[in-house]
Structure 1
Amino acid sequence: MHKRKRKSNTNQTQSPTKQYTVKEPTELLVFLLDTLSNLGRNSVKSLLSHGQVLVNDQAVTKYNFPLQAGQTVSIRKVKVTNTSNMTGIIILHEDEDIIVIEKESGLLSVSSSEENEITAYRQLMDHVRRENPKNRIFVVHRLDRDTSGVMMFAKSQEVQQIMQNSWKDMVKERLYIALVEGSVKKKEGTIKSWLKETKTFKTYSSARSNDGKLAVTHYKVIKFNSNFSLLKVNLDTGRKNQIRVHMQDIGHSIVGDKKYGSRSKPIGRLGLHAQVLSFMHPITGHLLRFETKIPKLFLSPFRGKPTK
């Protein structure tokens, strides 16, 4: 793992400061409420959502994470972030090296042809420069404008290069939730193709092997009815528009995705959400995992109808 001298900054993430040993099997939220009796329920949930709780040195955000006797739960101090002046962003975690956010659908991640358009990148740049005008952030990966969910940025070019050069090895889990058209008959499967791009920047699967960039997508149906299916989607590769193209390839375009064959827009947005991102911290080597809730809109087509 890459190492470098860390500068001292009392406003940034510190090493875990409080540790507790689990005595008997329980769930994480229950354990924290019992152990941190001086804190209210909302305060404890805030610790979880901001990545301040570690189980055996792994950051955990899931309330019902199962604990076993003998495990160590650590609570670390992190910088308190005010996001009230940001649009479409919740900061899940921030330390000296990285920022992890949850982005809303409709917010552009990075660049725009419109000079004054609000982007996640621009807002986070303003955020870090409030502390020091020389601070910057660096793009590690992107989410499409209409895709919501977890994404991360680096706070130095060095960290950006570490993450980008070792992305496949350092990222341990990328889980998306996709709401697609129709009832997917095969309830679990893998889609593999070679992706290329047209002159108008539309991605498509080539009919020939080794013609383009290999893309591998795994999916599992978690809810369905005659009109829609809700899928968990895991990626082996992170190609541009990969999930959108692969869903079209199997005849079940993502809802609201007119570009890739969708004929419906039941939730008023693209039905794609980056729910989980888990990766090795580029400097500390700790495994971090961030999980967000499935957007309520994604569940609306299944209310009052038979589901799996």
Structure 2
Amino acid sequence: MQAWHYHLKRRLTATELPLRDLLRREWLIPKSVYHQLRVKQHVTVNGVYQSVNTLIHPGDLIELTFETNDFRTPLPNYHAGQAAQTAVLYETSDILAVNKPIGQKTHPNQPWENNSLFNDVASYLEPQHCLPYIVHRLDMETSGVLLVAKNPVVLPILNRLIKTKRIKRHYIAWIHGQLNLQQGTIDAPIGRDPFDKRKRKVAGTNAVTAITHYKVLKQASDRTLVGIELETGRTHQIRVHFASIGHPLVGDPLYDPQGNQYVRLFLHADRLHLLTPFSYEPILIKAPLPAVFNQKVLLKKLPK
């Protein structure tokens, strides 16, 4: 059975609080995992198992041991891909951030597939005896920063940080036309398109809340470069929201009527503001902007 060990020294500037609050409220350890730590006595303070009511002081050493069966998350199982294809932007013993290329799926849809990003990442992590866990996804046509958990310990913590907007994802996109406002918010629920199973639409079937914030970065005569932050993370959210206000993303094969004329979908996840689990150190991860985004005239496909 695999185990993960953490030796965490409380900062000298930290406030005193009960061990229970440190584990559940500050470190965001899920209730079921917290229960296992207690039952197995896999949490110690300065080398001794203590009641969860114990007051933790600055400088105290907290040691945690997690085992595979502490987690409900199934072990990932990916066929080997190409490790050399993995473009690493940031890495620790818990976390990997990669630069996803355009045209590659985040994860396989079928068990036998071996050409997704996660197949490549699985091969990259194999020498470390780690497995990749999905934290969030990028559409196949989108490039940029993608965060990967390297163990089941930090996966639910990262999920909570994203859900509570403490991890922030930023995108850059070219859209058709010019916006009236230099910055704004699109607040429109997104659901399934009842007429096309590939697509989503505003106020579609089983629509859920979707909120997108944007800021104009540059304007050309017939298109605009925008910076985007998501408050929610729905499938195709950015693409659907801008199409719904009459400004589809340039090169979008689903929502831009002229999409098939361009070399790519002009959407890139350029930055991710990370808080590292347990230490909560702020880290800014950047994915270089593809050169094609800087073209004065966005590249179109060559005539066949």
Number of matched pairs: 220
- Residues 207, 140 of structure 1: alpha-carbon distance in 2 compared, 3 angstrom cutoff: closer
The reply to whether residue 125 of structure 1 matches residue 107 of structure 2 is no
Which residue of 249, 252, 258 corresponds with 2:253?
258
Q: Could you tell me the TM-score, scaled by structure 2's length?
A: 0.66
Which residue of 228, 231, 236 corresponds with 2:226?
231
**How far, CA to CA, are the matches of 1:247 and 1:262 in structure 2?**
13
Q: Structure 1: 5+ residue runs without aligned partners?
A: 8-83, 304-308
Question: Over aligned residue pairs, what C-alpha RMSD do you find?
Answer: 2.5
1:223-257, Cα deviation, whole Å (9 max, x unpaired): 12222211111111111110000110111111111
For residue 101 of structure 1, give the secondary structure of its aligned residue in structure 2: strand
Alignment of 1:265-304 (within 5 A): 265=260, 267-302=262-297
Contact 2:89 2:286 in 1 (8 A): no
Alignment of 1:48-87 (within 5 A): 85-87=83-85
Structure with the greater relative contact order (CA < 8 A, sep ≥ 6): 1 or 2? 1
Task: State, as a whole percentage, how many aligned pairs show the same letter.
Answer: 29
Contact 2:83 2:122 in 1 (8 A): no
Partner of 2:183: 188
The reply to whether residue 163 of structure 1 matches residue 161 of structure 2 is no
1:150-202, Cα deviation, whole Å (9 max, x unpaired): 01110111211221234233634211001111223333211001111135142
Q: Structure 2: 5+ residue runs without aligned partners?
A: 8-81, 299-304
**How far, CA to CA, are the matches of 1:230 and 1:216 in structure 2?**
19
Partner of 1:153: 148
- Residues 117, 129 of structure 1: alpha-carbon distance in 2 compared, 3 angstrom cutoff: closer
Write the letter of the residue equivalent to 1:284.
S
Partner of 2:99: 102
- Residues 230, 101 of structure 1: alpha-carbon distance in 2 compared, 3 angstrom cutoff: same
**Displacement of 1:92 after TM fit?**
1.0
**Displacement of 1:85 after TM fit?**
4.8
**Which structure would you say has the larger Rg?**
2
Which residue of 138, 141, 153 corresponds with 2:133?
138
Contact 2:192 2:204 in 1 (8 A): no
**Displacement of 1:261 after TM fit?**
3.0
The reply to whether residue 205 of structure 1 matches residue 187 of structure 2 is no
